[in-house]
Structure 1
Amino acid sequence: MDQLLTRRRMMLAIAALPLATLPACTTLGDLEGFGFENALRRLLTVSSQRAFANLLTDNGFFSDELARVPLPQELAGAGGIASALLRTPAVQNQLLGIMNRAASEAAEAAAPVVYDSIRNMTISDATALVRGGPTAATDFLQRAMGTAIVDAMFPDVGNALRLLDNGIVNQVVRAATGISFTGLQRHVSEAAADGIYRAIGREEASIRANPQSANDPVIASMFGLLR
């Protein structure tokens, strides 16, 4: 219960960018002076809020085909005990469940880093991003953030893997070659970061396709003119 309350408070505490009244504009050029950067930040904020609302649940990553953390490639060629374990669907699902639950736990640390990056990043060519493809803004955000999400999640992924482990993680790590606990921790962190960007991109594409769905007058006006 405390964990759920923490997540809810975090989501409610996210500072949405202030709404503003738009002038009467009929073309995208008319709106350019009003602030393409502002529209992009709002688009990324709403997209991120929606993505994290889904991912910050116990099964958020596992139940999302785009965000799900897969088994690391190193385990595919493992021999001996690890190979026998991983051939069992029940064990595969158990390990996948632990990894994806760890990703959900660690995503709490990623969310504020994403919002801070959106607020503070420099957008050099906002016009191109506004006019860009379905995930143009998310792709820019990913490039701008570099390894920030991975770095934010890495410690919490390790803690979660240890807390959630019922023995299977340590057994596989001990038996497999080419992967350590730290390697598994890194894999989950990097795969989860990629999943977060894919989830944000999906929301961005959905909003671009239906700007009114964002419930934001700036987004609706700016991106509505592009349709």
Structure 2
Amino acid sequence: MEAMNRRALLGMAALVPLVAVVGCATGPGASTVEEGVRRLLTLSTERAFDRLMEPNGFYDSQVARIAVPQALAGNGGVLASLLNSSLVRNQMGIVLNQVAQDAARRATPVVLDHVRRMSLRDAVAVLRGGPTAATTLLQQDAGGAVLDVMLPEVSRGLRSDVIRTLSAAIAEKTGVDYAELGQTVAGQASDGIFRAIGREEAAIRADPRATRDPVLIALLGAGRG
């Protein structure tokens, strides 16, 4: 019991200077620490999706690019031979990343809605955590919903674009398991989205002044103290 009380007191003590700083930065009606975390996640999410929605956004991303699944060549035969060609493999990579990008458009409002509604029971710990602590919490909360909303779009895109890339005649002979492929690509895309958000969160934490948001500047500066 004493240990629990001690932790509670320490948590309250940590919260006081953070709230005080926010109050100084914004005046009456100051945002709460929870609102500060939401601002951090909202800005990180918006920046990440802006980058991913640029032409070839997924394909050009170091953290979100979709790799050609090994399962595509798992049965050997015609498709495995084709994928040994760097030209075909690169074309397939571009197609898969475009499919992921198209599906990710549906995920944007889902992620932002979860940011608005998510429970932040220990916002101070999030702010004082690692460079992607808020994103980790967001993925735990929204990851399943993002995958659910992307999977149908990924599956539709794969059935049309992959066949078009390989030609229908070849695709029919390869025995591609589109359900498995869809799960793989959607999973990669979902993870890539959160890695992209985490990268933006880390950048904001490293230079909060660049956001010109007084709440973020105050909170993140205090969190590093």
Task: Note whether the superposition's TM-score is higher than 0.5.
Answer: yes
Aligned to 1:161: 158
- Selected match of 2:20 from 30, 34, 38: 30
**Structure 1, 182-191 or 101-110: larger mean CA deviation:** 182-191
Matched, 1:143 2:140: yes
Matched, 1:175 2:174: yes
- Selected match of 2:195 from 160, 173, 198: 198
Structure 2: any 5+ residue segments left out of the alignment?
Answer: 1-15, 24-30
The 5 Å alignment of 1:101-120 reads 101-120=98-117
Task: State the one-letter code of the partner of 1:30.
Answer: A
Change (3 A) 1:173 1:210: farther
Change (3 A) 1:222 1:148: same
Q: Over residues 51-77 of structure 1, what are the superposed CA-to-partner deviations in whole Å (9 max), with x where a residue is unaligned? A: 000111330100002100111132354
Provide the rounded CA distance (Å) in 1 between the counterparts of 2:166 and 2:188: 20
Matched, 1:122 2:119: yes
CA contact 1:37–1:126 (8 Å) conserved in 2: yes
The 5 Å alignment of 1:46-61 reads 46-61=43-58
Provide the rounded CA distance (Å) in 2 between the counterparts of 1:108 and 1:173: 29
CA contact 1:61–1:68 (8 Å) conserved in 2: yes
Q: Over residues 192-219 of structure 1, what are the superposed CA-to-partner deviations in whole Å (9 max), with x where a residue is unaligned? A: 0000000000000000000012221111
* Deviation at residue 174 of structure 1 after TM alignment: 4.3
CA contact 1:173–1:180 (8 Å) conserved in 2: no
CA contact 2:53–2:105 (8 Å) conserved in 1: yes
Task: State the one-letter code of the partner of 2:166.
Answer: I
Provide the rounded CA distance (Å) in 2 between the counterparts of 1:32 and 1:167: 54
CA contact 2:18–2:33 (8 Å) conserved in 1: no
Change (3 A) 1:41 1:86: same
Task: State the one-letter code of the partner of 1:28.
Answer: L
Provide the rounded CA distance (Å) in 2 between the counterparts of 1:174 and 1:201: 41
CA contact 2:92–2:165 (8 Å) conserved in 1: no
Task: State the one-letter code of the partner of 1:175.
Answer: T
CA contact 2:41–2:135 (8 Å) conserved in 1: yes
Aligned to 1:92: 89
- Selected match of 2:129 from 126, 129, 132: 132
- SS in structure 1 opposite 2:68? coil
The TM-score, its normalising length taken from structure 1, stands at 0.81
Aligned CA RMSD, in angstroms, stands at 2.1
- SS in structure 2 opposite 1:58? coil
